[in-house]
Structure 1
Amino acid sequence: MIQAFYCGVFIVSVICSVIYIFMWHRHFDVNFTMIFTLVPIACLGYLLLCKSESLGEAISAIKIIYLSGCFLQLFIVLNIFGLCQIEINKWIRTALFIISLILYAPILNIGYDDSFYKEISFEIKDGNGIVLKEYGIWHTVVYTAFFVFFAVGMTAVVYSWTKKKQVPRTIISLLVLPYAICILSYFVLKQLISKIELIPLGYVIAEIIYLIIAYRVNLYDISDTVIDSMVKEQGIGYVSFDFKNRYLGSNDTAKHLVPELKYTAADELFGYKPAQRKIRHFLDSFKANPQKNTFIYTVQTDNADDDRIYNVKVNYLYDNDRKRGYIVTFTDDTANQKYIRLLDRYNEDLCREVENKTQHITEMHDNLIMSLAMMVESRDNSTGGHIKRTSEGVRILIEEIIKENKLPLTEEFCRDVIKAAPMHDLGKINVDDAVLRKPGRFTDEEYEKMKHHAEEGARVIHKILLQTDDELFKQIAENVAHYHHERWDGSGYPTGLSGEQIPLEARIMAVADVYDALVSKRVYKEAFGFEKADRIIMEGMGSQFDPALRNAYVNARPRLEKYYLGLENKK
């Protein structure tokens, strides 16, 4: 039974090594290969020890076990440093290798001196070879060294987790498991099950985890040497994502084009920050229609003549023949694009006329949307004038945010948020009149129906603006409608987003929307005074609202009160 256990563990370890060989990639660290070489050797040693028929055979098996054990610790530590992107001087690596040799040297003298084992004997019990030994001083030294290697490895993992955002969190988490399993198998399970050495089982489980790490680590290697050469020669930028829109990596060219990438952690969900949304839009468009995979990306400068224009292509990210995610490629197309612009100058009159027509159509489009929003509001007994008041509230808040100059808002973004504010409740068009026009508080069932207006609003706006050329406005308008009832702590609806996962435009809309609901009369409540409304808003900062908007709201409060008092005076 015991021999069958060791035999099974050895076979599994060999299978894992064979799988690794098939997975092998030239970018794999050599330490990976050494781990997958030494684990089967260690498992073989335990099998030979169990099958030994004499003391000499048992000692040979022990030497095989410790050959793997001494050097396995070294290569695991070196592998951790490599995966954590911590460089080790070659002299330190050499010194560590020599230390491992020194640790192993006295083990070769087992049976000849008493430095490792003071006494050693052998017996066969139930058909299994068993070694009886009394540990010597060098045994303590070896296991002390093992603990030092363990401490160094864990220190590297903790340092990488706290200091190196570009190191994938998935990999760091997995690195802890092999050590934990080996320590558990030696110090805990060994005390519970004394007849069988569980260390080889721990090695095999660790080997399986390293297979997972090896499988995953390929994703973070953005390009090999040939691609790097192309990138440097032609100024091509690459950014890669997995199928869940988590950022995997990018080259220096891409980081220069999109500076936000420098501060984006590997495995971080991508697309919720304003600077990321244009690339997220490229990804979403490609998902919706893989044939539509070409876009234009402009890097603006103070001098328009120095602007750089890039062709952007989105394609699948392949690992051999398997699709593993998406890759976004930036190719400098400035010369061609500027040539096209030069030709366009000969059509200035025509362009001016088209611009005027477009502006007229846009105004008609905006008026149509506003009329639709007001029509929807007219169905709601409780929110008369709500869209105009909240739109003004959004405008005041954004002006204070701009004055504060702490959030990176572009002029286009601010204009689009103010323009999108009246559309935030468009989804109520699909809410039943019996619910929408109810002269009192909603029941739980009615409230659940009302909550659907956020998702419906995003869907309606998507259809209305489907053919618009202003992609940023379309995205902002959809986000305002979809997410303005989300809460900073994640307890909102419809999707339960939290923190900065909630688009900034929706976070701004939420403050204006709730403020108006508080200071306005509804069928189910009287209007709150400004002080009470202010207290509720301030208490919600950090739970319901983005705490970064606190100062902007405080600065906007006098203007908001003046605006609402003006409305009261007009009445």
Structure 2
Amino acid sequence: MIITCLLVLCIIAALNVVAIWHLNPKFSGNYSFISFLVLVSCMGHLMLGLSTNVDEAIVANKFNYAGSVFLPLFMFYAVADVCRVKIHKFVRTILNAYTMLIFGLSCTVGFSDIYYTSIEYVQTFEGVGNYVATYGFGHDLFNLMIFGFLIANVSILIYAFAKKKNVSFKCLVAMSLIDIATILAFFSSRLWEIDTLIMPAVYVFDQLALIYICFRVKSYDIGHSVLSVLEKNNTDGYILVSSSYRFLGCNEIAYEIIPALKNCRVDHLLPSGSAAIDFLRLWVREVRDGDYLDTKEYLSSVRHYRCYVRKVNVFRDRYVNLFKIVDDTDLHNYVQMLGDSNTRLKTVVKSNANQLKSIQEQMIVGMANMVESRDSNTGGHIKRTSKVVSILVDELRKDRQRKYEDTFYDALVSAAPMHDLGKIAINDEILRKPGKFTPEEFEEMKTHPEKGAAIVENLLSQIEVPAFVNIARNVACFHHERYDGRGYPRGLSGENIPFEARVMAVADVYDALVSKRCYKEKFSFEDAFDIIAKGMGSQFDPSLWKCFYNCREKLEEYYKSST
């Protein structure tokens, strides 16, 4: 019966490892390690239960320790991540080294008396294998590590409960339950010497709690990332609210606009009583019912605000409401003064539209820059490729044989900064890798165009005209396609590749050639020009050759002036 239970726990642990990775691969670093270590520890307990002599018991015990020694370390890192507490690199190094030392000492069992001074094989109920050991000073160091991480975890959780309102309350509760269950199980099993089944069961419980936390983290981190990007170059407030009226966070400007938000705790319901918060709650209900306006006006005692709402998908049919609050008091007062002067009113409206478009572009470029800041290989790439596209487009406008309107070319230039937005969904370990990718890593990188297209569509579909959304989506999705059909993600060829993506491909590759990367030196302008020329008809649209040739001097002047 016990062996059967251990086998079932191992199977559940293995399924949980897969579940955590597939649920949220981007943010599951520490969670994946913990879940895998739980699986290793459960397998060690199963091997111990199946052992028939002391040598087999020692091997199983070492397998068990491979999981249980490192679990406290990664659990500590997970607690710190959930509570948004930064651990200094030096401290991490010391903790990692100490944990490795404990694991090394545990491996001496059977060869030395450092960890166990003696060990004896026994069989418990139902003939389940186990051992009885006399502990050495090495095991005392293990207990010291357990107590140290226990105190650190409890301290961080108490601090987060008391001080950090921007941390999910539910995640804190789940993480606290993990610590409490693990601590009680550990000491109970040592006290009554019944750890064969108790510890694996508690470890699997920890996995299930981590799956819940991993799911919550995905929701909050998307909101946090969006808010961080939009915060850089704007003076607007941003607020995230769930469809169930729960406050998920906001930026500092939102706190200034609506002071009542300072009393709101993350993951708790928005309290009624404040006119501004009641305004948001009513809008959330309208969005949920499907009958809502994208834009509303809100008037406080002294300021006038224009407010926008956008639904941001976080998981399948789950979404959060992203509110944007723009202070347009000066514009509002000016329009009021204009009265019936239609000419002047139209001028102001046009200026306001241009201002809103500028804000949208700042949002887009801000997100693109955030992606680039994560990619250690492409510093300044977005700015340079955008300029290259602008230079190419200026030349294309002169070609009257092409039947594209100026609005198309304007949209192409505006969409250029978004071509690599999909990299926001690529794992940091791959994106920031200084050398060449492995085949598996390259396959992961090849997913960024389609992910970028989905992000672009989600960001722009409610604030831009469909024609612009389509151009921006095509630029993001197809700029790695080749004219001969050997590109990715879909292997399109020739005229099947949207024209805007063919232009972006030339700009993207040219910048990669003439710019220094951590894995290569930059090519000379002459070599880069020759490579692009040779690629016309295979990698690039040959109809762009004349345009590229005519732009050669301007491109080289730009790169010389920007270095």
TM-score of the superposition, structure 2-length normalised?
0.55
Equivalent-residue separation in structure 2 for 1:112 and 1:56 (angstroms): 11
Conservation of the 8 A alpha-carbon contact between 2:243 and 2:288: no
Equivalent-residue separation in structure 1 for 2:34 and 2:119 (angstroms): 30
Aligned to 1:146: 146
Aligned to 1:188: 188
Equivalent-residue separation in structure 2 for 1:233 and 1:19 (angstroms): 38
Conservation of the 8 A alpha-carbon contact between 2:174 and 2:213: yes
1:298 positional shift: 4.8
> Percent identity among equivalent residues?
25
Aligned to 1:97: 96
1:118 positional shift: 1.2
Cα shift readout 1:521-547 (whole Å, capped 9, x = no counterpart): xxxxxxxxxxxxxxxxxxxxxxxxxxx
Conservation of the 8 A alpha-carbon contact between 2:45 and 2:196: no
Equivalent-residue separation in structure 1 for 2:301 and 2:222 (angstroms): 26
Conservation of the 8 A alpha-carbon contact between 2:241 and 2:248: yes
Equivalent-residue separation in structure 2 for 1:16 and 1:33 (angstroms): 9
Equivalent residue runs for 1:227-238 within 5 Å: 228-238=228-238
Equivalent-residue separation in structure 2 for 1:158 and 1:329 (angstroms): 33
Equivalent-residue separation in structure 2 for 1:236 and 1:78 (angstroms): 34
Conservation of the 8 A alpha-carbon contact between 2:222 and 2:314: no
1:38 positional shift: 1.0
Equivalent residue of 2:297, what SS?
strand
Aligned to 1:41: 40
1:263 positional shift: 4.1
Aligned to 2:24: 24
Equivalent residue runs for 1:256-405 within 5 Å: 256-274=256-274, 275-287=276-288, 290-298=291-299, 309-331=304-326, 337=332, 340-341=335-336, 343-344=338-339, 346=341
Equivalent residue of 2:69, what SS?
helix
Structure 1: gaps spanning 5 or more residues: 302-306, 348-571
Aligned to 2:14: 14
1:73 positional shift: 0.3
1:251 positional shift: 2.6
Cα shift readout 1:391-419 (whole Å, capped 9, x = no counterpart): xxxxxxxxxxxxxxxxxxxxxxxxxxxxx
- Equivalent AA in structure 2 for residue 322 of structure 1: D
Equivalent residue runs for 1:397-476 within 5 Å: none
Equivalent-residue separation in structure 2 for 1:154 and 1:243 (angstroms): 32
For the pair 1:216 / 2:216, whether they are aligned, the reply is: yes
1:19 positional shift: 0.8
1:127 positional shift: 5.1
Cα shift readout 1:452-492 (whole Å, capped 9, x = no counterpart): xxxxxxxxxxxxxxxxxxxxxxxxxxxxxxxxxxxxxxxxx
Equivalent residue of 1:270, what SS?
coil
Equivalent residue runs for 1:163-178 within 5 Å: 163-178=163-178
Aligned to 1:201: 201
Equivalent residue of 1:56, what SS?
helix
| Residues 1:300 and 1:88: Cα distance change in structure 2 (over 3 Å) | farther
Cα shift readout 1:420-476 (whole Å, capped 9, x = no counterpart): xxxxxxxxxxxxxxxxxxxxxxxxxxxxxxxxxxxxxxxxxxxxxxxxxxxxxxxxx
Equivalent residue of 2:33, what SS?
helix
1:226 positional shift: 6.7
1:100 positional shift: 0.9
Equivalent-residue separation in structure 2 for 1:236 and 1:263 (angstroms): 20
Equivalent-residue separation in structure 2 for 1:258 and 1:317 (angstroms): 22
Equivalent residue of 2:197, what SS?
coil
| Residues 1:157 and 1:87: Cα distance change in structure 2 (over 3 Å) | same
1:7 positional shift: 0.9
- Equivalent AA in structure 1 for residue 154 of structure 2: M
| Residues 1:250 and 1:200: Cα distance change in structure 2 (over 3 Å) | same
1:43 positional shift: 0.9
Equivalent residue of 2:107, what SS?
helix
Equivalent-residue separation in structure 2 for 1:225 and 1:239 (angstroms): 12
1:235 positional shift: 4.5
Conservation of the 8 A alpha-carbon contact between 1:116 and 1:138: yes
Equivalent residue runs for 1:510-525 within 5 Å: none
| Residues 1:226 and 1:169: Cα distance change in structure 2 (over 3 Å) | closer
| Residues 1:226 and 1:158: Cα distance change in structure 2 (over 3 Å) | closer
| Residues 1:2 and 1:121: Cα distance change in structure 2 (over 3 Å) | same
For the pair 1:59 / 2:54, whether they are aligned, the reply is: no
Structure 2: gaps spanning 5 or more residues: 343-563
Equivalent residue of 1:34, what SS?
helix
| Residues 1:73 and 1:48: Cα distance change in structure 2 (over 3 Å) | same
Equivalent-residue separation in structure 1 for 2:228 and 2:339 (angstroms): 36
| Residues 1:85 and 1:148: Cα distance change in structure 2 (over 3 Å) | same
Aligned to 1:422: none
Equivalent-residue separation in structure 2 for 1:56 and 1:118 (angstroms): 15
Conservation of the 8 A alpha-carbon contact between 1:166 and 1:266: yes
1:199 positional shift: 0.4
Say which one has the larger Rg. 1
Equivalent-residue separation in structure 2 for 1:133 and 1:310 (angstroms): 71
Equivalent residue of 1:112, what SS?
coil
Conservation of the 8 A alpha-carbon contact between 2:283 and 2:292: no
Cα shift readout 1:364-411 (whole Å, capped 9, x = no counterpart): xxxxxxxxxxxxxxxxxxxxxxxxxxxxxxxxxxxxxxxxxxxxxxxx
Aligned to 1:79: 78
Cα shift readout 1:45-87 (whole Å, capped 9, x = no counterpart): 1112222244333222211211221211011112112211222
Equivalent residue of 1:269, what SS?
coil
- The worse-fitting range, judged by mean Cα deviation, of 200-209 and 155-164 is 155-164
Equivalent residue runs for 1:500-515 within 5 Å: none
Number of aligned residues? 340
Conservation of the 8 A alpha-carbon contact between 2:24 and 2:215: no
Runs of 4+ in 1 over 6 A off after TM superposition: none
Equivalent-residue separation in structure 1 for 2:3 and 2:32 (angstroms): 27
Equivalent-residue separation in structure 2 for 1:164 and 1:228 (angstroms): 18
1:331 positional shift: 4.7
Equivalent residue of 2:166, what SS?
coil
| Residues 1:328 and 1:77: Cα distance change in structure 2 (over 3 Å) | same
- Equivalent AA in structure 2 for residue 107 of structure 1: S
- Equivalent AA in structure 1 for residue 67 of structure 2: S
Equivalent-residue separation in structure 2 for 1:43 and 1:158 (angstroms): 30
